[in-house]
Amino acid sequence: MSVRAITIPNILRIDAQYLPLFRYALGSGILMLMVATIGNGISYIVPMLALSFLGPGSKMPSLKEGLGFVMVVIVSTITGFLFTKYFYEYSLFYVLILGLSLFWIFYTDKLAFVAKLFLIISLLAFPVPDYGLNTTIWAYALTGTLIFGAIATILVVWVVFSIFPDPVNSNSELPAKSASGGLSREVRIKNAVITFFSTFPVIIAFIFFGWGDYLLVLIYIVVLTMIPVPGHKAGAVKFFGNIIGGAVTLMFYWLLITVPNIFFFILLYTGTALLFASRVFSGKQSAQFFKTGFSALTLIIGGTILSTDQAGAEIGDRIFQVMMAVLYVVLVSVSVDAFSKYRQQKRKKYI
């Protein structure tokens, strides 16, 4: 059974080349509205994760694919929660198994990119509570939020694909089937090593020092290191893309405080999403900068404006924290890459 059976005609008469732009903007806008009205915990990550279903090359998932994605998220989220709940008290064993689990997640090509993110975040549910909440209450709330986010995401994806359907029917394919799909074993190992050394030391620090108030930074480090960026300039794309996102976020905030209204907020966010979508779907080399920038904007807006009553005092700090996270990830990536090239050159000398 396919969800395409309920797809409605393109009654708005929008040119086919602009349909993906409206899906990108409307889908993220609807989820941001849900987060702003009924969201809790770290539900602000849901709109950002949904962008992987609406980006360039994405297709409408069938009913089987959509339900399969939700089941994968439910199983992975509950598994991550139970693992941390029952093994966290055995510190050394927990750290060892957590490290091996993270490396496998980064390496495998059997899990979708979004499912990997949900699984990793669920692994942190119990040991890194937010804002000093009781760890058990926080873990249960976060697990429920992630499962709800997966269901809401796939439903919204179906809705926006029904409103703005593709002109040509083709076999649906769940976007971003794997963060490393199609790569050789050697490349996947290299990417897993870089991602592991970028995230694991920070995760350990957050767990043992209880830095729950900076959970946004931890999430963004994990997300940023896992976002697949093609080409040899991934570090530059992530760094300058986040500068773009941070700058637009500041302008977004100053416009919002002039009209502090939920409807204006959604219109402003959706309009901004449409502006970014025009660059993301342009097919130019700069598209990756704006794709990364919009992810940063969505995460900062959700994690600051929607999750605190002191957004004005914190938004500058949050942008600074995110940029420090970006700088950290870029430095680790460049250092590991330089070390790898050094080893290759050294081997050539002995050959």
* pLDDT bucket at 271, cuts 50 / 70 / 90: very high
Count Cα atoms within 13 angstroms, Cβ side, for 185: 0
187-220 pLDDT per residue, tens: 788 778 878 887 888 888 877 777 766 776 777 7
pLDDT bin (cut points 50, 70, 90) of residue 257 is confident
pLDDT above 70: residue 11: no
pLDDT band with cut points at 50, 70 and 90 for residue 127:
low
Residue with tokens 């709800």: 148
CB 25 within 8 A of CB 273: yes
Give the Cα separation of 309 and 289 in Å (integer).
Answer: 30
Summarised one tens digit per residue, pLDDT across range 39-72 is 555 566 777 777 778 888 778 888 888 888 888 8
Over range 10-15, report the average pLDDT.
57
pTM score above 0.85: no
* pLDDT score for 128: 57
Whole-number pLDDT of residue 4? 47
Instruction: Classify the C-alpha dihedral 131-134-138-139 as positive or negative.
Output: positive
Q: Residues 115, 57: contact at Cβ < 8 Å? A: no
Q: For residue 91, which amino acid is it?
A: S
Highest mean pLDDT among 238-242, 246-250, 330-334: 246-250
- Please report how the helices 46-54 and 113-123 are oriented relative to each other, as an axis angle in degrees rounded to 10: 160
- pLDDT for 89 beyond 60: yes
Task: Identify the sign of the CA torsion 321, 322, 326, 332.
Answer: positive
Q: Which residue has the higher pLDDT, 118 or 204?
A: 204
- Comparing C-alpha atoms, which of 30, 14, 15 is closest to residue 273? 30
CA distance 265 to 260: 7
With a CB cutoff of 8 Å and minimum separation 6, the contacts of 4 are 60, 62, 165, 169, 172
| Burial environment of residue 103 by CB neighbours within 10 A (0 to 12, 13 to 18, 19 or more) | middle
Distance CA 207, CA 318 (A): 20
For residue 34, what are the contacts with CB-CB under 8 A and spacing of at least 6? 46, 152
> Is residue 338 pLDDT above 90, yes or no?
no
User: Which residues lie closer than 8 Å to 67 by C-beta, 6 or more apart?
Assistant: none
For the stretch 151-201, pLDDT in tens is 888 888 888 888 888 765 444 444 444 444 566 777 788 778 878 887 888
Res. 307: pLDDT tops 60: no
| Non-local CB neighbours of 323 within 8 Å, separated by 6+ positions | 242, 243, 246
What percent of the chain stands above pLDDT 90?
A: 3
Q: CB neighbours of 316 closer than 8 A, spacing ≥ 6?
A: 250
